[in-house]
Amino acid sequence: MKIAIAQLNFTIGAFEENLEKIIRAIRRARQEKAALVVFSELAVCGYPPHDLLEYRYFIEQCEGSLQRIAAECHGIAAIVGGPAVNPNHRGKNLYNSAYFMANGEVQRVIHKTLLPTYDIFDEYRYFEQNTEFGLINYKGFNIAVTICEDLWYRQPLLTGYGKDRLYSVCPMDQLTGLCPDFVVNIAASPFSYLQGEIKAGILTENAARYKVPVYYVNQVGAHTELVFDGGSMVVNPDGIISRMKLFEEDFGIYDTDAVLAAKAGSVVLPRSSEISLIHDALVLGIRDYFGKSGLKSAIVGLSGGIDSAVTLVLAARSLGATRLRALLMPSQYSSDHSVNDAIALARNLGVRYDIIDIRDTYWQYGQALGKVFKDLPEDISEENIQARIRGNLLMAMSNKFGNIVLNTSNKSEAAVGYGTLYGDMCGGISVLGDVYKTEVYRLADFVNRDREIIPQNTIAKPPSAELRPNQKDSDSLPEYTILDKVLFNYIELKKSTEEIVRLGIDRNLVEKIIHMVNLSEYKRYQLPPVLRISTKAFGPGRKMPLVARYN
């Protein structure tokens, strides 16, 4: 039997658009003699729909789309993800389900068993857990249909507690007792540069443990802060047989006999560097944030520093230079080379730029505040005024011309509060908010791997906010190589002060950094959505109390 995998980029709530994509893929699969075509988790409405699932009209639109898809399934079967109403008056209103369609109607509805409620996932908020297990019999094959997390019963490295099992029931133990010929897993598994190998390991471990092939289809595309990388796979007990494209829509047809007979290593999968994956994820994240929201253009405050430079490059690759604008806002503390570097970058990319000198505006603020500041010495207040003037100018350009401001703060700065609320922390989407400063430098080198796009001086010079004479980031922060090591261990790996000190880092420094992170939670509450590329991004995936005392 031939199985088609349709790896598609859906838009949450865009029912007609999603429906067209699904029906087009069904027709293609039928034309290419596939007997079954599979789509990703909640494909009919897009994942994750969040509280839209609480609206009756939304569920009715899902049901209507599913019926129209089923009507298309003549001469072919399809497995499509969508919500299903729970007929029991007890429990949650919905199931997260997979619809098996054939002969023009829905034949079976399989419900998701394991409902993740950690990091960015909150599925138990909406869905009831499945408790019944069965196979689908189609064309002489017994098919086990699972939904994303149902294969993730064992997931070492993710829990942080030394446990490798988050759940009390293992769906695959239940299903393999029924002797399936193969497993279909429909998923909406978001990208993390740390998790690619883990995903592959989960799939191969299941195929090997239960001695069945696994056909895994993953959603591709971005929804607000979440980026889905696709990378759908076909795996047999010997290993990975095929992997589909990353960060792109894709379509493939696989013969069950050929999959079962294939040997591990018969297909060499291309390996991408960690930094190239981050680059591609951010480009897709920006593109879909604008494309799916109907937003037309963006603006970046271009300082001549590395963060705004990398942001501008990523935006140009996502949107195109003609949909992008840069605004240079030098002050009396801006160096000539910073302005020249910013201009050179904008010209290299073909991006329109404007220059607004903020010295006079800053002087007027000083005059107005002088009456209440009196003879108090200048401090961070005056520095923040400059950042807020720039934020105001960017927002004025956004209002006047419809250019959405791209926030350029990196994860290191956001972690320790090295940024100004309503100033450089403003924006519609935070492009680098999940990218540590050391990774921003790697991104810059990656951008310049073939030719110089970002001026080398931007990369080589010591980082500085340029808000006071001769200012450097190192005046306020440890060297980024040390800072990022502490932050990664504290944020991603959830290690304590004692555990981080045992890595050979000075205790006073570790305590200072962790104190800065905890003290800055109020600022992160007001960050724009952060494109997620790690396992622990700021935003919905990291929920810390705003008012608390902890170390």
Give me the active site residues, please. 41, 112, 148
Torsion sign over Cα 296, 431, 421, 293: positive
Non-local (6+) Cβ contacts of 113 within 8 A are 129, 130, 131, 133, 146, 147, 150, 169, 171
| DSSP calls for 74-130 | SSSEEEEEEEEE--SSSS-SEEEEEEEEETTEEEEEEEP-----STT--GGGTBPPP
Hey, what are 144's tokens? Answer: 């086990």
* Phi, psi for 111 (deg, rounded to 5): -105, 150
Q: Is 227:218 a contact under the CB 8 Å cutoff? A: no
What residues are paired with 187 via a beta bridge? Answer: 218
**SS3 label, residue 236:** strand
Instruction: Find, among 457, 443, 464, 503, the residue nearest to 273 by Cα.
Output: 443
Residue corresponding to tokens 């007997």 = 35
Contact between 217 and 39 under an 8 Å Cβ cutoff? The reply is yes
**Cβ neighbours, 10 Å, residue 312:** 31
Contact status, residue 216 vs residue 202, Cβ threshold 8 Å: no
User: Quick check: 236 and 260 in contact, CB under 8 A?
Assistant: yes
How is residue 31 annotated by DSSP? H
Decide: 418 and 478 in contact? Cβ < 8 Å: no
DSSP code at position 190: B
Q: Show the beta-strand stretches assigned E in 112-180.
A: 136-138, 141-147
What is the CB neighbour count within 10 angstroms for residue 411? 27
Largest CA distance in the chain: 87
Separation between Cα atoms, residue 210 and residue 208, nearest integer Å: 6
Helices (H) and strands (E) in the chain, counts: 17, 19
Cβ atoms of 424 and 466 closer than 8 Å = no
C-alpha 275/C-alpha 443 separation (Å) is 6
Given strand 2-7, what is the order of strands in its sheet? 105-111, 94-102, 77-85, 36-38, 2-7, 250-255
